[in-house]
């Protein structure tokens, strides 16, 4: 039944039911035929009540899908997310090393500091700039009875204290998801690797062992899998070769002592699955065997397999029942991306926050392994988010052919912005450059960065951007963003809408043209600025020379505050970076810099980063030395599994 998944929809029934009951004849039950005969209008009241009840029960995210005829069926509607290359020509793609398949678990190997023979080198390199990707979501219909949920390695303990804390936080949500799938006829496979002896007498374990092993069972399902063919070309997204622990050093030692005091091995302290996740001994299965799980899925006619649990970049990907093996063997495998976590240490490449490291692994999976989804597709509400993940969400919109910001800006965001922020990229389609993929990300974004040149948009897309701006959220624009959605003296083609006032309304700008390309622009700090992003002793300071042409933008609108100016010989200087308070009270920041060579200048990269902090209300500030160090560390590093 769906009743237990629809309780949050029942508030309106509490209003309707008392009204309906008051309307019925007093002292008579509406279910007695006499009352219904005497008061035929009460039939309508009863009908209204049951219509509301049934409508409520089936209005949850697990509601019935609509067939082509409009009639309902019993399938789930699930939103699946994948990523595909914007272009088929990779940019600066680094060579990679084919990783061998091994049966060794990284959690075991790294915890036990095993010898190289037990943990073959699975190092892969990844370029600091790779192919850009469109991120798209499609709705599919699933038969619940042909759906399985595998709960991977959600152990009762771990050698990483932070890993333990995150598991305890996510486990109640995993339990809710398991109950939801089970209630609709799907199967649940609990896969707490290395813990099967604990469940030797459990009916769910015996049920798994009782499933007949088909002679068609592939032997290739048995070992651990470090890499599948589709991963070879793009490398690995993080360096987890240290085991991925991100504990405070003192707390880690205290935790090890605590585990020893409990009689557990501090390197491998797991004994069972965490108790928070209920195991139904009448329906569920317990197994960590690739063969057993393959046969469980086949015997039950399973077509769709949800993978949840930990850790995404290790066990969820590589176990014999993990995403890679399921994908290789023909199952429709899907990662539940909000109910998972990674083993990633921010002190390792690419030197981003733990949450951003998890995002990179999820991106990797969506691009070359399998689709992902979120738990709200089955539970309603919003996707789960770890309490430690307080990052602001930037949407970066790129669509211009002059300055190569699809390379330079993307690299800057990956090296600098992703350290402390969540990022969604929105790129124009190659074939239809006025169409941008992924603008729906603005619905959950905190800020927007624009690098677009003369691209009128479909009305719905432009309205989405206008709603975002009107909400008062921050906007950062570089270079051609001043004429992002307008054409010079032309009407937009049919089906497209221009926004010529974008510059004035959003940035307080007044772009009219630019000076010649043969002039070098001298960039200085505005002597009279009092902006909080400029130190007092920097006022009037010469910064660098830009190869980009100087934009004609004077005079700016009231409400702007100029930070930097640019000048060329024999011409008046022009504002080159400023902030603006919009009519909707939102903050904006714009710079006419953004030429390809500007991204090689640390002062410019630092300004962009600090503007991003300031726009989102953060007091954090980076120095030029911070930016130089981060860039150096990222560009010399690479992703490693072991």
> Could you report the per-residue pLDDT of 463-522, keeping only the tens digit for each?
999 999 999 999 999 999 999 999 998 899 999 999 999 999 999 999 999 998 889 999
Q: What is the pLDDT of residue 331?
A: 96
> For a pLDDT cut of 70, what percent of the chain falls above it?
82
DSSP 123-168: B----SS---EEEEEEEEEE-GGGEEEEEE--BS--S-HHHHHHHH
Q: What is the pLDDT of residue 125?
A: 32
Contact 553, 580 (CB under 8 A): no
Residue 110 reports pLDDT greater than 80: no
pTM of the model: 0.84
Confidence grade of residue 108 (pLDDT, cut at 50, 70, 90): very low
User: pLDDT averaged over the chain?
Assistant: 86
Residue 575 reports pLDDT greater than 80: yes
Q: Which of 47-51, 84-88, 139-143, 608-612 has the lowest mean pLDDT?
A: 47-51
Q: What is the pLDDT of residue 97?
A: 28
Domains of the chain, start order: 3-57 (no CATH), 82-87+99-115+122-379 (3.40.50.850), 393-634 (3.40.50.880)
Q: What is the pLDDT of residue 516?
A: 86
With residue 19 as reference, give the H or E element that holds it: helix 11-23
25-41 mean pLDDT: 38
C-alpha 308/C-alpha 322 separation (Å) is: 10
CA dihedral 39, 42, 43, 48 (to 10 degrees): 170
Q: What is the pLDDT of residue 44?
A: 45
Q: Which of 100-109, 251-260, 534-543 has the lowest mean pLDDT?
A: 100-109
Name the residue among 160, 172, 103, 171 with its Cα closest to residue 315.
Answer: 103
Q: What is the pLDDT of residue 233?
A: 84
C-alpha 360/C-alpha 345 separation (Å) is: 13
Cα–Cα distance list, 241 to 111, 155, 159, 640 (Å): 11, 21, 15, 6
Counting every residue written for the chain, the total comes to 642
C-alpha 56/C-alpha 17 separation (Å) is: 13
Residue 315 reports pLDDT greater than 80: yes
Residue 163 reports pLDDT greater than 70: yes
Q: What is the pLDDT of residue 225?
A: 96
Q: What is the token pair recorded at 612?
A: 């991003």
Q: What is the token pair recorded at 371?
A: 């689709």
Contact 66, 44 (CB under 8 A): no
Residue 2 reports pLDDT greater than 60: no
Residue 21 reports pLDDT greater than 50: no
193-218 mean pLDDT: 97
303/39: higher pLDDT: 303
Q: What is the pLDDT of residue 73?
A: 64
345-354 mean pLDDT: 98
- In a 3-state reduction of DSSP, which class is residue 192? coil
Q: What is the pLDDT of residue 65?
A: 46
Confidence grade of residue 74 (pLDDT, cut at 50, 70, 90): confident
Q: What is the pLDDT of residue 389?
A: 98
Is 625 buried (19+), middle (13-18) or exposed (0-12) by CB count in 10 A? exposed
Residue 111 reports pLDDT greater than 80: no
Contact residues for 329 (Cβ-Cβ < 8 A; gap 6+): 218, 220, 221, 294
pLDDT by residue (tens digit) across 366-410? Answer: 999 999 999 999 999 999 999 999 999 999 999 999 999 999 999
Q: Which residues pair with 590 in a beta bridge?
A: 477, 578
Confidence grade of residue 88 (pLDDT, cut at 50, 70, 90): low
Evaluate the omega torsion of the peptide bond into residue 353 and state whether it is cis, within 30 degrees of 0.
no
Name the residue among 530, 543, 465 with its Cα closest to residue 497.
Answer: 465
52/97: higher pLDDT: 52
Contact 192, 288 (CB under 8 A): yes
With residue 15 as reference, give the H or E element that holds it: helix 11-23
Number of H helices, E strands in the chain: 17, 20
C-alpha 582/C-alpha 375 separation (Å) is: 37
């Amino acid at each position: 039944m769906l009743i237990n998944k629809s309780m949050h929809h029942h508030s309106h029934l509490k209003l309707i039911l008392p009204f309906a009951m008051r309307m019925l004849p007093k002292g008579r039950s509406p279910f007695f035929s006499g009352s219904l005969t005497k008061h035929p209008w009460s039939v309508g009241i009863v009908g209204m009540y049951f219509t509301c009840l049934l409508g409520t029960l089936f209005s949850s995210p697990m509601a019935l899908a609509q067939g082509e005829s409009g009639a309902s069926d019993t399938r789930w509607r699930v939103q699946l997310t994948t990523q595909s290359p914007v272009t088929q020509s990779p940019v600066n793609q680094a060579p990679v090393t084919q990783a061998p398949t091994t049966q060794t678990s990284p959690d075991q190997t790294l915890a036990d500091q095993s010898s190289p023979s037990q943990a073959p080198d699975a190092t892969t390199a990844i370029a600091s700039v790779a192919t850009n990707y469109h991120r798209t979501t499609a709705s599919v219909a699933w038969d619940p009875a042909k759906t399985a949920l595998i709960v991977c390695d959600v152990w009762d303990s771990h050698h990483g204290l932070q890993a333990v804390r995150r598991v305890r936080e996510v486990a109640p949500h995993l339990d809710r998801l398991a109950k939801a799938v089970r209630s609709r006829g799907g199967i649940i496979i609990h896969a707490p690797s290395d813990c099967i002896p604990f469940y030797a007498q459990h009916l769910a374990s015996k049920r798994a062992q009782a499933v007949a092993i088909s002679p068609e069972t592939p032997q290739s399902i048995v070992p651990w899998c470090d890499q599948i063919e589709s991963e070879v070309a793009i490398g690995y997204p993080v360096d987890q070769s240290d085991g991925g622990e991100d504990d405070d050093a003192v707390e880690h030692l205290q935790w090890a002592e605590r585990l020893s005091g409990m009689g557990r091995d501090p390197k491998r302290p797991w004994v069972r699955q965490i108790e928070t996740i209920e195991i139904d001994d009448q329906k569920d299965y317990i197994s960590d065997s690739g063969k057993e799980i393959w046969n469980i899925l086949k015997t039950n006619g399973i077509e769709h397999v949800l993978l949840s649990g930990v850790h995404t970049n290790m066990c969820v990907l590589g176990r014999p029942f993990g995403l890679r093996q399921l994908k290789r063997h023909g199952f429709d495998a899907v990662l539940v991306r909000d109910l998972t976590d990674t083993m990633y240490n921010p002190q390792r490449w690419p030197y981003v926050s733990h949450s951003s490291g998890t995002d990179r692994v999820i991106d990797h999976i969506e691009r070359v392994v399998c689709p992902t989804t979120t738990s709200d597709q089955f539970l309603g509400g919003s996707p789960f988010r770890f309490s430690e993940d307080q990052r602001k969400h930037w949407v970066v919109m790129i669509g211009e052919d002059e300055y190569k910001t699809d390379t330079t800006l993307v690299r800057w965001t990956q090296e600098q912005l992703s350290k402390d922020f969540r990022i969604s990229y929105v790129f124009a389609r190659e074939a239809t450059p006025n169409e941008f993929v992924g603008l729906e990300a603005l619905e959950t974004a905190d800020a927007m960065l624009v690098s677009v040149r003369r691209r009128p948009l479909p009305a719905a897309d432009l309205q989405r951007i206008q709603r975002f701006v009107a909400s008062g959220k921050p906007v950062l624009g570089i270079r051609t963003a001043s004429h992002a959605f307008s054409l010079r003296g032309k009407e937009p083609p049919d089906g497209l809408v221009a926004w010529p006032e974008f510059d004035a309304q959003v940035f307080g700008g007044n772009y009219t043209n630019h000076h010649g390309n043969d002039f070098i622009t001298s960039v200085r700090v505005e002597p009279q600025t009092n902006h909080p992003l400029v130190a007092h002793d920097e006022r009037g300071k010469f910064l660098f020379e830009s190869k980009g042409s100087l934009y004609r933008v004077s005079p700016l609108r009231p409400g702007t505050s100029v930070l930097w100016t640019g000048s060329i010989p024999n011409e008046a200087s022009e504002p080159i970076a400023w902030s603006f308070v919009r009519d909707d009270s939102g903050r904006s920041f714009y710079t006419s810099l953004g030429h390809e060579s500007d991204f090689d200048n640390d002062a410019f990269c630092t300004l962009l980063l600090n503007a991003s902090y300031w726009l989102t209300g953060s007091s954090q500030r980076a120095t030029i030395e911070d930016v130089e160090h981060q860039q150096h560390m990222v560009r010399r590093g690479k992703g490693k599994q072991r």
